[in-house]
Amino acid sequence: MIFQTVLTAMLPEHLLLAGIVTLLALEIGAGRPRGALVHAVASAATVAAALAALWLHASHYSGAPFPGHYAIGPATALAKFLVLALAVPVLLLSREQFDDARYYVLLLGSLYGACLLPSSMSFLTLFLGLELLSLPVYVLVLLAFQRPEGAEAALKYLVLGGAATATFLFGTSFLYGATGTLAIEGFSMAFWSGDPAALSGAALIIAALFLKAAIVPLHAWAPDAYEAASVPVTAYMATIIKAAVLLAALRIFAVAPVAGLVALLPLLSMVWGNLAAIRQSSFRRMIAYSSIAHAGYLFFAFLGAGPGRYQAVMFYLATYGVMTLLAFTALPGGSDDARADRLDSLKGLFHRRPAAALAIAAAMLSLAGLPPLPGFVAKFLVFRNVLAAGHTGWAVAGLVASYLGLYFYLRVIQIMFMQESAEAAGDAGSRRLSWLAGLLCLVPAVTFAIFPGWLLDRL
């Protein structure tokens, strides 16, 4: 029964859609619905979708409601669960700043796109997913319109996002012309065939992915967009968008021998991201450069042999996402957004809010890849695969590039622990939802650190 397959296989997406429809109905029916209600609906839809994805994974469900375009299996379901689970802390963080139904509709819409990506079997679905993922975010960046730079950053993001879309379509049409198929396997076929048109199509697609994931030299939009957006939107871009794009890359690259082609620019990303982060004075800008470097590590995972790529990318995304979100949940808010974003506002944070400072410190050390934090295991896994595939030179270069990042992560700790707070910064008072979000990140973080094998066995 095809109808039933459509219903079951796409359950997470349907639940998100139900959330969107409910929110729209509330907006139309109740004029301006209460913030708490809106927030509850959006959170409930996301949690339900995440649980549905988990259930699909646990019951080893696999099906193809739209053969050749959309399919789901246990691994895909887990990827969806990862994306949706990471969205829960983001939603909890959003409550403080947004009680507008529009915000949540856009966020759920973007999540819908993120859910489509791991399931795509054709470039058509993939395109749909990528656009659905990005379009709402152009608006989300602008929604927290508090500073004039916000508009500029959103425009930059929109224009470059449009360029990525065009590049992607261009590449797809090249591929279609050369291979006669829109199926995702066409990408790998381009490499086997060696047809110049197909290869240039593949190169354009890779370029579009690099732009979306903010790989040097296509990264320039990220720092501006991250800085201009409000905290939850930045957290969303740094974790879920990054994860969704990498999951799309995972679908496309699958087992394609992309090695040399994808290695150089990600390596440059690590070096440049880690070096440029040193000079930042805005926390979100710094995280943007950090995410540029981490996109580099993530793409390095494709240097490894085909079968290990899924495990490496998923483990990395899980730890990176959880730890980045942990840092954002612990970040002290403030009425003045621009001032709260200054790294200087973290001065002496340990004396004001020891728990928050410790959480941010743990997140920074994990992002830097120091053991015993989970980021180390993720880094180890990626570079292990690269070395095991015989790319010794790339692995050593990548590890040395990752060393460059240590300094700016340590600088955050230094600011929080080793400097006196300049003045009594206007920290927001009780933030119960942030605490809950932080806890949601902390539990998996501790689990990944102490029992990384538990997650590895499931990937």
Partner 1 sequence: MSDALLLNAVLWLPVLGMLALPLLPRGNDAAVRALTLAVVALELACAAWLLVRFDGSVAGLQAETRLPWIRAWGVEYHIGLDGLNVLLVALTAFLGPLVVAGAFSAVQRDVKLFHAMLLLIQFTMLGTLLAQDLFLFYVFWEAMLIPMFLLIGVWGGERRIYATLKFVLYTAFGSILMLAALIYLVYTLPWHGGSVSFAFEYLYRHPPAAAAQNWLFAAFALSFAIKVPIVPLHTWLPDAHVEAPTAGSVILAGVLLKMGTYGFMKLGVPLFPEAARFFTPAMMTLAVISILYGACLALVQTDIKKIIAYSSISHLGYVMLGLASASLLGIQGAILQMVSHGLVAGGLFLMIGMIYERCHTRDLAAYGGLAKLLPVYSLFFMILTLAAVGLPTTSGFAGEFMVLIGSFDAAWPLYEQGHAAALVLAGSAVLGVVLGAWYMLWFAERFLFGAARAPHQPLVDLGRRERLILAAIVAAVFAIGLYPGPLLEKTELAARQYQKVLQGSAAAEVRP
Query: Does residue 383 belong to the site contacting partner 1 (CB under 8 A)?
Result: yes
- Total number of residues that touch partner 1 (CB under 8 A): 33
Give the closest residue to 271 by CA, choosing from 288, 287, 289.
Answer: 289
- Per CB under 8 A, the segment of 18-26, 203-211, 331-339, 393-401 that binds partner 1 is 393-401
Please report, for the chain, how many H helices and E strands are present, in that order. 23, 2
Q: How far apart are CA 325 and CA 437, in angstroms?
A: 8
Q: Is 350 in the site for partner 1 (CB under 8 A)?
A: yes
Q: Which of 7, 336, 414, 428 binds partner 1 (CB under 8 A)?
A: 414
Tell me the two tokens of residue 403: 């060393």
| Contacting range for partner 1; rule: CB under 8 A; set: 4-12, 52-60, 116-124, 413-421 | 413-421
Applying CB under 8 A, the span of 55-63, 106-114, 120-128, 401-409 interacting with partner 1 comes to 401-409
135: buried, middle or exposed (CB in 10 Å: 19+, 13-18, 0-12)? Answer: middle
Q: Residue 66 or 407: which CB sits closer to partner 1? A: 407
* Other beta carbons within 10 Å of 14: 18
Eight-class DSSP state of 71: E
Q: By CB under 8 A, which span of 100-108, 132-140, 275-283, 395-403 interacts with partner 1?
A: 395-403
Angle at 111 between CA 375 and CA 201, to 5 degrees: 80
User: Is 455 in a helix, a strand, or coil?
Assistant: helix
Taking CB under 8 A as the binding criterion, the range among 29-37, 193-201, 337-345, 346-354 that sits at the site for partner 1 is 346-354
Among 399, 436, 439, 446, which residue interacts with partner 1 (rule: CB under 8 A)?
399
CB of residue 388 vs partner 1: minimum separation in angstroms?
Answer: 5
Q: Are 184 and 175 in contact, with CB atoms under 8 Å apart?
A: no
261 binds partner 1 (CB under 8 A): no
Nearer to partner 1, 34 or 351 (CB): 351
Cα torsion 88, 89, 94, 100 to 10°: value is 10
Residue 420 in the binding site for partner 1 (CB under 8 A): no
Which member of 7, 396, 422, 428 binds partner 1 (CB under 8 A)? 396
Q: Report d(CA 396, CA 347) in Å as an integer.
A: 35
Residue with tokens 């001032």: 339
Quickly count: other Cβ atoms within 10 Å of residue 167's Cβ: 21
Nearer to partner 1, 56 or 357 (CB): 357
The correct pick among 91, 111, 154, 413 for binding partner 1 (CB under 8 A) is: 413
The single residue among 170, 191, 380, 435 that binds partner 1, judged by CB under 8 A, is 380
Nearer to partner 1, 232 or 398 (CB): 398
The dihedral built from the CA positions of residue 392, 394, 395 and 399, taken in this order, carries a sign that is positive
Nearest 10 degrees: Cα torsion 165, 308, 459, 362: -80
Q: Which candidate, 385, 378, 220, places its Cα nearest to that of 294? A: 378
Interaction of residue 313 with partner 1, rule CB under 8 A: no
Region from 24-32, 40-48, 90-98, 392-400 binding partner 1, contact rule CB under 8 A: 392-400
Position 310 contacts partner 1 (CB under 8 A): no
Q: Which residues bind partner 1 (CB under 8 A)?
A: 350-351, 354, 365, 370-372, 376-377, 380, 383-384, 387-388, 390, 392, 395-396, 399-400, 402-403, 406-407, 410, 413-414, 417-418, 452-453, 456-457
